[in-house]
Amino acid sequence: MTDTSMTPTAAAPKKSSLLVQDARTRKRNAAETRFRMYGMAAIAVGLLFLVFLFASILRSGLPAFTQTVVEIEFTLTQEQFDTAESKMLKTGEYQKIFVNALTQQLDASGLEVAFDGKAIERIVGKPGGTIRSFFLENSDRIGTPVSFELAASSRVDGYLNGRITRDTLVDSRFLMATDLDLVDALQDAGIVKGAFNWNFITGTDSGVDNPGGAGLGASVIGSFFMMLVVLFLSLPIGVAASIYLEEFAPKNRWTDLIEVNISNLAAVPSIVFGILGLAVFIQFAGFPQSAPLVGGLVLTLMTLPTIIISTRASLAAVPPSIRDAALGVGASKMQSVFHHVLPLAMPGILTGTIIGLAQALGETAPLLLIGMVGFVAREYPDGFVSGFTDANSAMPAQIYTWASRADPGFYEKAWGGIIILLLFLITMNAIAVLLRRRFERRW
Amino acid sequence: MNDMRIVERKVDTNEVKIAAKDVQVYYGDNHAIKDVSVEIEDKTVTAFIGPSGCGKSTFLRCINRMNDTIDICRVTGDIMIDGEDIYDAKVDPVQLRAKVGMVFQKPNPFPKSIYDNVAYGPKIHGLAKNKADLDNIVENALRRGAIWDEVKDRLHAPGTGLSGGQQQRICIARAIATEPEVLLMDEPCSALDPIATAQVEELIDELRKSYSVVIVTHSMQQAARVSQKTAFFHLGHLVEYGETTTIFTNPVDPRTESYITGRIG
Amino acid sequence: MHDKHIASAFDRDLEAIQAQIMKMGGLVENAILEAAISLETRDEERAEAVRKSDKAIDALEELINEEAARVIALRAPTAIDLRVVLSVIKVSANLERIGDYAKNLAKRTGVLSQMEPVNGSAGALRRMAKEVEGMLKDALDAYVARDAELAQDVIDRDIQVDQMYNALFREFLTFMMEDPTNITACMHLHFIAKNIERMGDHVTSIAEQVVYLVTGAIPDEARAKGDKTSLPS
């Protein structure tokens, strides 16, 4: 009945309006919005972890930079000096003199806490040696008032940092509960206070029982010499190898083999390089153990693949039109590479090198195997050459050593070391970014 | 009636500058250029035309041995410039390229100053005795390249900061700074707008008084405007070579006619 | 024939202008025939029609010129395409002149119909006109077929037209010397003969264009100049 035949007057399909989104577009837009949300959520999670990481590092490590000091002024008479020098246990004498002086000062200040000499020793530690060295060097100050700022014992330091609380304290020969009252009183009196711990940055590692005196300075120097070796060896060798591989090597199976091996080297675990260094440089070639020179050589081997790979990428990124133009004007292959391609690839090469150096700075495993462990960093090297050959440690290894010691005082030193290491790394990466921006070229 | 013909288009018979004989070029197994023999004259503009992939750029690059940089490329046959075989073992391609200049399709000035761009060639070939000499060479080249007036106040600005047409003229100035005898141009105007193209073509017309110019071009109108002799390549063969007027009004080979009238690709 | 252009619009343009030429040629052939018939039959109406149709021929020539200029500007034709366009321009100019002569012929019908017919002239003129019309038809056929041989044949036949003109010229002179009352009529008839001879020359010109189109060379100066009337006898 219904005439279903198409009549000529049937309307053509209605044209859709651009102002109305159809269902497909809506779905697609919704999917894209969701995807953007996922992305932002992922970034937020990452940032959250980063914030958490930095917060915990700072919280644990900042206390390492403050040192509790005892400020005291006293006069050493010539008599006391002569008496002390004549005894056998000289530092012990100075200790006694110091404690007496302090006791007198405390009495004079009207302290209302009970104390005795032993308590004072537990609080202020044993600065006898320091006092003695000072007066030996500055004998003209004998008889005049001298003000000393002496480091308090690490336990007191811990108490003032919050590491040790009255609840967690276990009475020992290092610190007793009653001492804490004294410490509070001293703090109120202004004799005990916190000061910036320069020694942490400039000093050397200290013995196992002296966390307070531990310093990162020697390790920084050790790292510095190591980085010099890495820079001056890996940069020329890496760049030269890359230039050869990229520009001059014939494309045959040998070259392919070399390229594959270089990529593989980049993936070798760092501890393998440590074993290599131990076997070849120390045992076979007889280089001094724990020397930054050996550490530098090992890290050069590790950094070379990174530098070669990034240099090759930079060289390959130079457009072939530049090479053609140079050749067309009559430059030889070498001239075109050195006058044109290399300067244009330089930003990339520098960036790659700095990143490689930053990675090397943070390597720990190979250094442990060649002996650059923390406790070795006891003194500063004497001169420039001995900076390479004297036994020393590097920052990451030093941190590792501190973290593995029993004394909880070293724990915060380890975190403090991490803060310094991170500062170095951030600075180096910032320099890389800056250099890249400055030298970026348009072609 | 023949003596009443228009004489301006008459080409002086010039000496042969480049003589190619039975040249074959192989890319691996691909036989790209087959049995090409041609004599290119001095002080003349010779155009190479032909469809894409016919081998004209490949043959052009044989003349200054730029194909040497491609490992899988093999060239046989003779190419003589001024009677000397340029593929002889004694010939150093670097020296050859000082004598045979090249301008590329996309302007490619070095990312250095304009002065350094033009001075680079003379410097590495030791053509300048001192700084004043070099300054002279640079100025001459820029004048002959019809770009001196536009850049004389900013010789130390980067070469990449100019318009396309200016960059191409800098590249031409760079090529002629080494006092070549032959100038090879591989589609020099294909990246330029019509005004820049016209400026470069005018320049080519000037240059032909001093050099032998070989230009590869996709535009037949350009070949017709700019050249005195034209060579038509097709599938690696040199199909026809003759005076430009003849090729465009009454070509001999039907393949040539088909190509220039737009009947085949 | 050659292959098609890759740009088919180019082919269409060239075909269009050549079709116009063919149309123009047809109109001109018709005009010659009609003019000759009207002359013989003294048909004034026919003559008027011929005169009017010349406008269409002129309009076509203008159109063809415009189209040719357009093709040159937009397509930059080369080689054979260029010769096609150039020849079209020249052929249309020649056709237009032939058409004008045909109109001229028709104009004189009116005058002649007032006078006594001259003996034998009608037949001779008819033969001449037929010959020229035949030449034009062959020349246009040669153009379409790109037949250089046929075109060369047309060029060679022009000499016969010239000879016919020579004969008529002497005849008219004789008539006029015999009987001065014939002078007016013979003068008109002479002009008619001259017009037909000029038509023949223009057809020859068309045939020469065909040769140029096919071979790329203008045929030699050896075109026969059969008209000896201007030379001292």
Q: Are C78 and B259 in contact (CB under 8 A)?
A: no
Q: Is the residue at C220 inside a domain?
A: no
Number of domains in chain B: 1
Q: Nearest-5° angle of CA B231, CA B236, CA B239? A: 40
Residue C188: CB partners within 8 Å, gap ≥ 6? C108, C111, C112, C115
CB atoms within 10 A of CB A368: 19
Mean pLDDT (whole number) for A48-70: 88
Query: What length is written for chain C?
Result: 233
Q: Higher-confidence residue: C208 or A77?
A: C208
Q: Which chains touch B (3 or more CB pairs under 8 A)?
A: A, C
Interchain CB distance below 8 Å, B97 and A321: no
Tokens of A56: 């915990």
For residue A88, pLDDT over 60 is answered with yes
Interchain CB distance below 8 Å, A344 and B101: no
For residue B2, pLDDT over 80 is answered with no
**What confidence tier does C227 reach under pLDDT thresholds 50, 70, 90?**
low
Q: Which chains touch C (3 or more CB pairs under 8 A)?
A: B
Q: Please report, for the domain that includes residue C97, its CATH number.
A: 1.20.58.220
- How many angstroms separate the CA of residue C184 from the nearest CA in chain B? 42
Q: Do chains C and A touch (3 or more CB pairs under 8 A)?
A: no
Interchain CB distance below 8 Å, C77 and B261: yes
For residue B9, pLDDT over 50 is answered with no
B219 touches C at CB < 8 Å: no
A304-350 pLDDT, tens digit per residue, is: 999 999 999 999 999 999 999 999 999 999 999 999 999 889 888 98
Look at residue C96 in the predicted model and tell me its pLDDT: 96
Q: Nearest-5° angle of CA C78, CA C79, CA C84? A: 90
**What confidence tier does C131 reach under pLDDT thresholds 50, 70, 90?**
very high
B72 touches A at CB < 8 Å: no
Which residues 89-128 of B are in CB contact (within 8 Å) with C?
none
Interchain CB distance below 8 Å, B66 and A344: no
Closest residue on chain A to B186 (Cα): A328
CA A402, CA A393: separation in Å to the nearest integer?
A: 12
C6 touches B at CB < 8 Å: yes
Among B220, B249, B261, the residue with its CB nearest the CB of C5 is B261
Q: Higher-confidence residue: A51 or C40?
A: A51
B36-74 pLDDT, tens digit per residue, is: 999 999 999 999 999 988 899 999 999 999 998 888 899
**What confidence tier does A112 reach under pLDDT thresholds 50, 70, 90?**
low
Look at residue B140 in the predicted model and tell me its pLDDT: 92
**What confidence tier does A74 reach under pLDDT thresholds 50, 70, 90?**
confident
Q: Is the residue at B265 inside a domain?
A: no
Q: Do chains B and C touch (3 or more CB pairs under 8 A)?
A: yes
Look at residue C140 in the predicted model and tell me its pLDDT: 95
Q: Higher-confidence residue: B182 or A438?
A: B182
Among B221, B249, B262, the residue with its CB nearest the CB of C6 is B262
For residue A182, pLDDT over 60 is answered with yes
When the pLDDT of each residue in chain B is averaged and rounded to a whole number, the result is 89
- How many angstroms separate the CA of residue B246 from the nearest CA in chain C? 9
Which residues 70-99 of C are in CB contact (within 8 Å) with B?
76-82
- Nearest CA to A415 out of A430, A398, A434, A438 is that of A398
Tokens of C189: 């008839």
**DSSP string across A134-162:** HHHHTGGGTTSEEEEEEEPPHHHHHHHHT
Mean pLDDT (whole number) for A297-301: 93
The residue range of the domain holding B150 is 2-260
A138-162 pLDDT, tens digit per residue, is: 778 777 777 777 777 777 777 777 7
What residues in A contact B124, CB-CB < 8 Å? 329-331, 335, 339
- Nearest CA to C150 out of C134, C161, C133, C138 is that of C138
Closest residue on chain C to B265 (Cα): C6
The residue range of the domain holding C124 is 8-215
For residue C233, pLDDT over 60 is answered with no
Q: Is B55 left (phi over 0), alpha (psi -120 to 50) or beta?
A: left
Give the torsion through C-alpha atoms of A309, A314, A315, A317, to 10 deg: 120
Phi, psi of A152 (to 5 degrees): -75, 170
Interchain CB distance below 8 Å, B1 and C81: no
C2 touches B at CB < 8 Å: yes
**What confidence tier does B6 reach under pLDDT thresholds 50, 70, 90?**
very low
For residue A418, pLDDT over 50 is answered with yes
Test mutation, B66, B104, B110, B176, chain A, max A CBs within 10 A: B110
What residues in C contact B221, CB-CB < 8 Å? 76
What residues in B contact A339, CB-CB < 8 Å? 120, 124
Q: Is the residue at C3 inside a domain?
A: no
What order of strands is seen across the sheet that includes strand B73-81?
Answer: B30-41, B16-27, B73-81, B84-85
Interchain CB distance below 8 Å, C3 and B265: no
For residue B28, pLDDT over 50 is answered with yes
Output b/e per residue, B153-181; b: 16+ Cβ within 10 A: eebeebbbebeebbbbbbbbbbbbbbbbb
Q: Higher-confidence residue: B143 or A180?
A: B143
A207-266 pLDDT, tens digit per residue, is: 666 677 778 888 888 888 899 999 999 999 999 999 999 888 888 899 889 989 988 988
Q: Is C194 exposed, middle or buried (0-12, 13-18, 19+ CB in 10 A)?
A: middle
Among A329, A332, A340, the residue with its CB nearest the CB of B174 is A329
Look at residue B7 in the predicted model and tell me its pLDDT: 40
- How many angstroms separate the CA of residue B4 from the nearest CA in chain C? 15
E strands, A291-339, are none
Tokens of A156: 């007191």
CA C71, CA C75: separation in Å to the nearest integer?
A: 5
- How many angstroms separate the CA of residue C6 from the nearest CA in chain B? 5
Q: Are A323 and B66 in contact (CB under 8 A)?
A: no
- Inter-chain contacts counted by CB atoms under 8 A, chains B and C: 39
Among B109, B111, B120, the residue with its CB nearest the CB of A441 is B111
B108 touches A at CB < 8 Å: yes
Instruction: Provide, rounded to the nearest whole percent, the portion of chain A with pLDDT above 70.
Output: 92
Q: Please report, for the domain that includes residue B197, its CATH number.
A: 3.40.50.300
Among B97, B109, B110, the residue with its CB nearest the CB of A327 is B97
Output b/e per residue, B231-265; b: 16+ Cβ within 10 A: bbbbebbbbbbbebebbbbbbeeebbbbbbbbbee
Look at residue A113 in the predicted model and tell me its pLDDT: 65
**Ranges of each domain in chain A:** 63-196, 217-439
**What confidence tier does B10 reach under pLDDT thresholds 50, 70, 90?**
very low
B262 touches C at CB < 8 Å: yes
B224 touches C at CB < 8 Å: yes
Assigned CATH for A217-439:
1.10.3720.10
Q: Is the residue at C230 inside a domain?
A: no
CA B119, CA C210: separation in Å to the nearest integer?
A: 59
Number of domains in chain C: 1
C161-201 pLDDT, tens digit per residue, is: 999 999 999 988 988 898 888 888 888 889 999 999 999 99
Mean pLDDT (whole number) for A122-142: 76
**What confidence tier does A134 reach under pLDDT thresholds 50, 70, 90?**
confident
- How many angstroms separate the CA of residue B52 from the nearest CA in chain A? 20
Instruction: Provide, rounded to the nearest whole percent, the portion of chain C with pLDDT above 70.
Output: 93
CA A162, CA B265: separation in Å to the nearest integer?
A: 86
B70 touches A at CB < 8 Å: no
Which residues 200-229 of B are in CB contact (within 8 Å) with A?
none
CA B248, CA B261: separation in Å to the nearest integer?
A: 9
C4-25 pLDDT, tens digit per residue, is: 888 888 889 999 999 999 999 9
Mean pLDDT (whole number) for B161-183: 92
Q: Higher-confidence residue: B21 or A10?
A: B21
**ipTM, 2 decimals?**
0.87
Among C6, C77, C216, the residue with its CB nearest the CB of B265 is C6
What residues in B contact A251, CB-CB < 8 Å? 71
B257 touches C at CB < 8 Å: yes
Closest residue on chain A to B94 (Cα): A330
**What confidence tier does B264 reach under pLDDT thresholds 50, 70, 90?**
confident
Q: Is the residue at C232 inside a domain?
A: no
Interchain CB distance below 8 Å, C3 and B263: yes
What residues in A contact B101, CB-CB < 8 Å? 328-329
Place of tokens 């790329």: C216
For residue C88, pLDDT over 90 is answered with yes
Q: Higher-confidence residue: C143 or A86?
A: C143
Interchain CB distance below 8 Å, B258 and C81: no
Look at residue A40 in the predicted model and tell me its pLDDT: 97
Interchain CB distance below 8 Å, A328 and B64: yes
Angle between helices A177-189 and A90-109 (to 10 degrees): 70
Residue C135 is inside which H or E element, if any?
helix C121-145
Closest residue on chain B to C83 (Cα): B249
Interchain CB distance below 8 Å, A331 and B178: no
- How many angstroms separate the CA of residue A330 from the nearest CA in chain B? 5
Q: Is the residue at B199 inside a domain?
A: yes
Phi, psi of A386 (to 5 degrees): -70, -15
